[in-house]
Amino acid sequence: MRLFDYNRAPNPRRVRIFIAEKGLKIPLVKVDLMRMQQLSPEFRQINPGATLPVLETDDGSYISESLAICHYLEDLHPEPNLLGSSRAEKAQVIMWNNIAEQGMDAAAEVLRNISPGFRGHALPGPAPIEQIPALVERGQTRVNQFFDRIEQQLKNNAYLAGENYSFADITLMATTEFADWVETHAYKTRPALQRWYTEVTARPAANA
């Protein structure tokens, strides 16, 4: 098994944390997003969507999309459980993971429409897409609304999907740090998020 990865990108990061939480060792293959290696013909054979992360399984198939990769790994290595135990908890983990991804999308909307580095590449994928500057403000509004919703949830729950640490927390950690790239610093004004962030970033796997 191998993971196609880039160390600074938030989606590969959440899969690396998941792998570290499981205590697994999976070799990493660097695909340099700064050099646009994801758009190379070789990598597009692996993932036509031209995104990271991608897991190459032992039977030589490729899985893209972070949740799909983590689902595959959880099936192979059920403990420690990170995608929920009971039927209800599984649903909560997927639900809050998807919500946390919406926060990542909102931060990406800001970054990808403001940063000169994303000119002509405002969305991931092989096709050129121009930036729309008006989306920056909308994205900032979405980011703030997102963290307000998260703050309410974390006021009443130890972790994002309830009592147990899960993949939803991993996605939220990656989202929170990614949002810092657009200068949100969401936890500074949201005490429950700050409490949660201090706790989850103290876990050894958070450095993966």
Interface with ligand GSH in residues 54-83 (CB under 6 A): 65-66
**Minimum CB separation from ligand GSH for residue 118, in Å?**
8
Does 33 sit near ligand GSH (CB under 6 A)? yes
Nearest to ligand GSH of 9, 94 (CB atom):
9
Q: Tokens 């070789």 appear where?
A: 42
**Minimum CB separation from ligand GSH for residue 113, in Å?**
13
Nearest to ligand GSH of 5, 151 (CB atom):
5
Does 10 sit near ligand GSH (CB under 6 A)? yes
Does 11 sit near ligand GSH (CB under 6 A)? yes
Kindly state the number of chain residues that form the binding site for ligand GSH, as judged by CB under 6 A. Answer: 12
- Using the contact rule CB under 6 A, the part of the chain among 8-16, 19-27, 91-99, 152-160 near ligand GSH is 8-16
Does 171 sit near ligand GSH (CB under 6 A)? no
Instruction: Give the dihedral sign, CA 109/7/39/99.
Output: negative
Give the count of beta carbons closer than 10 Å to the beta carbon of residue 25: 8
Cα separation values, 13 from 128, 142, 203, Å: 25, 22, 14
**Minimum CB separation from ligand GSH for residue 100, in Å?**
11
Does 17 sit near ligand GSH (CB under 6 A)? no
Nearest to ligand GSH of 40, 85 (CB atom):
40
Do residues 85 and 161 lie in contact, with contact meaning Cβ atoms separated by under 8 Å? no
Structure token pair of residue 44: 């597009």
Do residues 167 and 67 lie in contact, with contact meaning Cβ atoms separated by under 8 Å? yes
Interface with ligand GSH in residues 84-143 (CB under 6 A): 124
Does 184 sit near ligand GSH (CB under 6 A)? no
Among 19, 52, 154, 206, binds ligand GSH (CB under 6 A): 52
Does 9 sit near ligand GSH (CB under 6 A)? yes
**Residues near ligand GSH (CB under 6 A):** 9-11, 33, 38, 50-53, 65-66, 124
